[in-house]
Structure 1
Amino acid sequence: MAKISHGEVDRFKLIAAILVIAIHTGPFISYSPSADFILTGIVARLAVPFFFMASGYFFFGRMKGEKAQERAALKRFMLRIGLLYGAGFLMYLPLNVYAGHFNEPWSIASLAKDIVFDGTFYHLWYLPALMTGTCIVYWLRAKTTDRYVLVVASVLYVFALLGDSYYGLAAQIGFLSSFYDHLFEWFDYTRGGIGFAPLYIALGASAANRDEKSRSGNWYAAAFLVSMGLLLAEGIVLHEAGYPRHDSMYIALVPAVYALFRLLLTWGGRERRFMRQASTWVYMLHPLAIVLIRGIAKLTGLEPVLVKDSLVHFLAVTALSMLLSSAVVFLAGIRRTKVANKIPGTDRAWAEINLEHLDHNLRELKNALPPSTQIMAVVKAEAYGHGSIRIAKRLYRAGVRCFAVAEIDEGIKLRRKGVRGEILILGYTPTHRLGDVVRFRLTQTAVSANDAERLQAFGKKIKVHIKIDTGMNRLGEPYDDTERVLSMYRHSRLKVTGTFSHLAAADSLEQEDVAFTRMQIERFESIVRQVRAVGFRPGMVHLQSSYGILNYSELNLDVARPGIALYGLLSSECDRIRADVDLRPVLTLKARVTRVNGVRAGESVGYGRSFTAPLDCKVATVSIGYADGIPRELPERGGCVLIHGQRARIVGKMCMDQMMVDVTDINDVRQGDPVTLIGQDGENRITAGEIAEMAGTITNEVVSALGARVSRIFI
Structure 2
Amino acid sequence: MTSDPHASSATSFTVQVDLDAIAANVAALRERAGSASVMAVVKADAYGHGLLPSARAALRGGAAALGVAQLEEAVRARDAGIDAPMLTWLYAPGADVAGAIDRGIEVTVSSRWQLDDVIAAAARTGATAPIQLKVDTGLARGGALLDGEASAWHDLVASVAAGMADGAVEVRGIWTHFVYADAPDHPTVRGQQEVFAEAVAVAGRAGLRAPLHHIANSAATLTNPSAHLDMVRPGLAVYGLSPVPDLGAPQDFGLREAMRVTARLSLVKRIRAGQGVSYGHTWTAPEDTVVGLVPMGYADGIPRAAGNLGPVRVQGAGRSTVTGRVCMDQIVVDLGPDFGGSAGDEVVVVGRGADDEPTAQDWAAVTGTINYEIVTRMAPRAPRTYLGEGA
* Alignment TM-score, normalising by the size of structure 2: 0.87
Decide which of 640, 643, 651 is 2:311's aligned counterpart: 640
Measured at CA, do residues 670 and 682 of structure 1 come closer, stay the same or move farther in structure 2, by a change above 3 Å?
farther
Displacement of 1:536 in angstroms is: 2.1
Displacement of 1:576 in angstroms is: 6.0
Decide which of 678, 684, 695 is 2:367's aligned counterpart: 695
Decide which of 592, 613, 631 is 2:285's aligned counterpart: 613
In the alignment, does 2:59 pair up with 1:396?
A: yes
Task: Give me the whole-angstrom Cα distance separating, in 1, the residues matched to 2:53 and 2:311.
Answer: 30
In the alignment, which residue of structure 1 is the partner of 2:234?
A: 562
Decide which of 270, 275, 278 is 1:598's aligned counterpart: 270
In the alignment, does 2:19 pair up with 1:352?
A: no
SS at match of 1:414: helix
In the alignment, which residue of structure 2 is the partner of 1:535?
A: 207
SS at match of 2:66: strand
SS at match of 2:384: strand
Output the amino acid matched with 2:196: F
What are the residue-to-residue correspondences of 1:72-471 with 2, within 5 Å?
344=8, 347-371=11-35, 373-458=36-121, 459-460=123-124, 461-471=128-138
In the alignment, which residue of structure 2 is the partner of 1:552?
A: 224
Displacement of 1:494 in angstroms is: 2.0
Decide which of 114, 130, 140 is 1:473's aligned counterpart: 140
Task: Give me the whole-angstrom Cα distance separating, in 1, the residues matched to 2:356 and 2:55.
Answer: 31
SS at match of 2:194: helix
In the alignment, which residue of structure 1 is the partner of 2:198?
A: 526
Q: Which has the higher helix share?
A: 1
Q: Which runs of 5+ in 1 are unaligned?
A: 1-342
Measured at CA, do residues 375 and 406 of structure 1 come closer, stay the same or move farther in structure 2, by a change above 3 Å?
same
Displacement of 1:433 in angstroms is: 1.8
Displacement of 1:472 in angstroms is: 0.9
Task: Give me the whole-angstrom Cα distance separating, in 2, the residues matched to 1:556 and 1:611.
Answer: 49
SS at match of 1:651: coil
In the alignment, which residue of structure 2 is the partner of 1:171?
A: none
Output the amino acid matched with 2:11: D
SS at match of 2:322: strand
Task: Give me the whole-angstrom Cα distance separating, in 2, the residues matched to 1:345 and 1:417.
Answer: 26
In the alignment, which residue of structure 2 is the partner of 1:100?
A: none
Task: Give me the whole-angstrom Cα distance separating, in 2, the residues matched to 1:606 and 1:651.
Answer: 8
In the alignment, which residue of structure 2 is the partner of 1:160?
A: none
Asked whether the equivalents of residues 479 and 485 of structure 1 are also in contact (C-alpha less than 8 Å), the reply is no
SS at match of 2:265: strand
In the alignment, which residue of structure 2 is the partner of 1:623?
A: 295
Decide which of 481, 494, 507 is 2:169's aligned counterpart: 494
The Cα offsets for residues 122-159 of structure 1, whole Å up to 9 and x where unpaired, read as: xxxxxxxxxxxxxxxxxxxxxxxxxxxxxxxxxxxxxx
The count of corresponding residues between Structure 1 and Structure 2 is 367
Displacement of 1:535 in angstroms is: 3.0
Asked whether the equivalents of residues 572 and 689 of structure 1 are also in contact (C-alpha less than 8 Å), the reply is no
SS at match of 1:713: strand
Asked whether the equivalents of residues 602 and 615 of structure 1 are also in contact (C-alpha less than 8 Å), the reply is yes
Asked whether the equivalents of residues 401 and 420 of structure 1 are also in contact (C-alpha less than 8 Å), the reply is no
Displacement of 1:586 in angstroms is: 1.2
Asked whether the equivalents of residues 572 and 698 of structure 1 are also in contact (C-alpha less than 8 Å), the reply is no
The Cα offsets for residues 47-79 of structure 1, whole Å up to 9 and x where unpaired, read as: xxxxxxxxxxxxxxxxxxxxxxxxxxxxxxxxx
Asked whether the equivalents of residues 644 and 666 of structure 1 are also in contact (C-alpha less than 8 Å), the reply is no
Output the amino acid matched with 1:660: V
Displacement of 1:573 in angstroms is: 2.2
Measured at CA, do residues 378 and 599 of structure 1 come closer, stay the same or move farther in structure 2, by a change above 3 Å?
same
In the alignment, which residue of structure 2 is the partner of 1:483?
A: 154
Measured at CA, do residues 346 and 516 of structure 1 come closer, stay the same or move farther in structure 2, by a change above 3 Å?
farther
Task: Give me the whole-angstrom Cα distance separating, in 1, the residues matched to 2:325 and 2:217.
Answer: 37
Displacement of 1:346 in angstroms is: 5.7
More displaced 10-residue stretch of structure 1: 537-546 or 608-617: 608-617
In the alignment, does 2:256 pair up with 1:584?
A: yes
Q: CA RMSD in A?
A: 2.3
Task: Give me the whole-angstrom Cα distance separating, in 1, the residues matched to 2:15 and 2:140.
Answer: 35
Asked whether the equivalents of residues 88 and 108 of structure 2 are also in contact (C-alpha less than 8 Å), the reply is yes
SS at match of 1:520: helix
Task: Give me the whole-angstrom Cα distance separating, in 2, the residues matched to 1:463 and 1:571.
Answer: 30
Asked whether the equivalents of residues 97 and 117 of structure 2 are also in contact (C-alpha less than 8 Å), the reply is no
Measured at CA, do residues 685 and 576 of structure 1 come closer, stay the same or move farther in structure 2, by a change above 3 Å?
closer
Output the amino acid matched with 1:486: V
Asked whether the equivalents of residues 345 and 713 of structure 1 are also in contact (C-alpha less than 8 Å), the reply is no
Structure whose alpha-carbon radius of gyration is higher = 1
In the alignment, does 2:343 pair up with 1:671?
A: yes
Measured at CA, do residues 668 and 495 of structure 1 come closer, stay the same or move farther in structure 2, by a change above 3 Å?
same
In the alignment, which residue of structure 2 is the partner of 1:656?
A: 328
Displacement of 1:581 in angstroms is: 2.4
Asked whether the equivalents of residues 449 and 477 of structure 1 are also in contact (C-alpha less than 8 Å), the reply is no
Displacement of 1:580 in angstroms is: 6.8
Displacement of 1:362 in angstroms is: 1.2
SS at match of 1:547: helix
In the alignment, which residue of structure 2 is the partner of 1:506?
A: 181
Task: Give me the whole-angstrom Cα distance separating, in 2, the residues matched to 1:426 and 1:432.
Answer: 12
Q: Bigger relative contact order, structure 1 or 2, given CA contacts below 8 A and separation 6+?
A: 2
Asked whether the equivalents of residues 502 and 543 of structure 1 are also in contact (C-alpha less than 8 Å), the reply is yes
